[in-house]
């Protein structure tokens, strides 16, 4: 008969494996989500892990990023404007993302406007969005009874103050704005929305 002490080592030598598939799922998901959202330079296995897990995260909509205001927040306040001229010679402009000029309810509902226009449309890297947006504006304006013959997209910016103070609050600040027309489209006569 074996003594209890002789049985003990064999029990300890059990491989360190979890007993349930759910445990593997939880641990695997945690590693995959962590790797997916980490900066590449701080997490060397990222390329390997993302390659293995990326397709699964994509299929199930579990991709994620948690880098808001980082590594550094943008140092410019941004707005995007659309200017258009009608066939009768009148011209108008729409400031799309003057968020703090909106009412509280409107700015809450239109937060995705800021995301689309300020974070994507205004960027040169996202110029593939410009023409589809200009065409959308023509369709939307024609639905409102306008007859636009040209569309201009304008980005506005003003830099953050080097020193924070109550006068730097966005609602009271007097800093000058810069602007740049980053896209112009003369609507062809044959354009049919």
Partner 1 sequence: MSRGPGMIVRAVAAFDRWVMDPVDPRPLCWFRCWFGVLCLVNVLLLWPDMPMWLGDDGVLPPAAHRPPLPGPSLTVYNACSGMAAIWLIRSLGVTGGLGLALGILPRCAAACTWLAVTSYSWRNPQILHSGDSLFRIAAFFLIFARTDAVLSLPRWLARRLGRQDPAGTIEAPTQVPAWPQRILQLQLCILYLVTGIWKGCGKAWWDGSAVGIVLQMGEFERFPIPDLLATPVMSRLLTWVTLLFELGFPFLVWLPRARLPLLAFGLAFHAGLEWILNVQLFQWTITAFYLLFLEPVPRRSSSAEGERQRPTAAAGTGSVAAAGSAAAKAAPVRASSPTAA
Per CB under 8 A, which of residues 116..175 are in contact with partner 1? 116, 118-121, 126, 128-129, 131-133, 135-136, 139-140, 160-161, 163-166, 168-171, 173
Question: Among 144, 138, 140, which Cα is nearest to 85's?
Answer: 138
**Residue 83's beta-bridge partner residues?**
93, 152
What is the closest distance, in whole angstroms, from the C-beta atom of residue 87 to partner 1 in the complex?
Answer: 22
| DSSP H or E run through 82 | strand 76-86
Residue choice 107, 142, 182, 191 for contact with partner 1 (CB under 8 A): 107
**What residues between 5 and 24 interact with partner 1 by CB under 8 A?**
9, 12-20, 22-23
Helices (H), the chain: 4-12, 21-37, 46-59, 104-109, 111-113, 130-143
Phi first, then psi: what are they for 76, rounded to 5°? Answer: -130, 135
CB of 98 to partner 1, least distance (A): 8
Q: Does 59 bind partner 1 (CB under 8 A)?
A: yes
From candidates 5, 70, 174, 192, binder to partner 1 by CB under 8 A: 70
Binding residues with partner 1: total (CB under 8 A): 88
Would you tell me how many other CB atoms lie within 10 Å of the CB of residue 133?
A: 20
Q: Which stretch binds partner 1 (CB under 8 A): 87-95, 111-119, 145-153, 179-187?
A: 111-119
β-pair type (148-159, 76-86): antiparallel
Residue number with CB closer to partner 1 (85 or 118): 118
Q: How far is the CB of 159 from partner 1 (least distance, A)?
A: 9
Name which of 124, 182, 133, 119 is nearest 153 in CA terms.
182
Complex with partner 1: residue 83 or 107, whichever CB lies closer:
107
CB 62 within 8 A of CB 83: no
User: Are residues 86 and 146 in contact, defined by beta-carbon separation less than 8 angstroms?
Assistant: yes
Residues 22-51 that bind partner 1 (CB under 8 A): 22-23, 25-27, 29-30, 33-34, 37-39, 42
Stretch of 81-89, 112-120, 144-152, 179-187 lying at the interface with partner 1 (CB under 8 A): 112-120
């Amino acid at each position: 008969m074996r003594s209890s002490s002789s049985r003990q080592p064999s029990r300890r030598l059990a491989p360190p494996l979890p007993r349930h598939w759910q445990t593997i799922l939880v641990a695997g998901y945690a590693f995959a989500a962590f790797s997916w959202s980490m900066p590449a330079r701080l997490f060397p296995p990222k390329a390997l892990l993302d390659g293995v897990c990326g397709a699964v995260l994509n299929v199930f909509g579990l991709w994620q990023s948690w880098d808001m205001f980082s590594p550094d927040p943008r140092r410019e306040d941004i707005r995007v404007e659309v200017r258009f001229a009608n066939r009768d010679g009148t011209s108008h402009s729409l400031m799309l993302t003057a968020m703090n000029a909106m009412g509280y309810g409107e700015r809450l509902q239109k937060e995705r406007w800021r995301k689309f226009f300020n974070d994507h449309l205004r960027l040169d890297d996202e110029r593939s969005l410009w023409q589809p947006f200009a065409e959308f504006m023509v369709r939307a304006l024609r639905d409102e009874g306008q007859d636009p013959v040209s569309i201009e997209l304008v980005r506005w910016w003003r830099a953050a103050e080097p020193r924070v103070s109550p006068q730097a609050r966005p609602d009271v600040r007097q800093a000058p704005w810069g602007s740049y027309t980053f896209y112009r489209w003369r609507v062809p006569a044959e354009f049919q929305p």
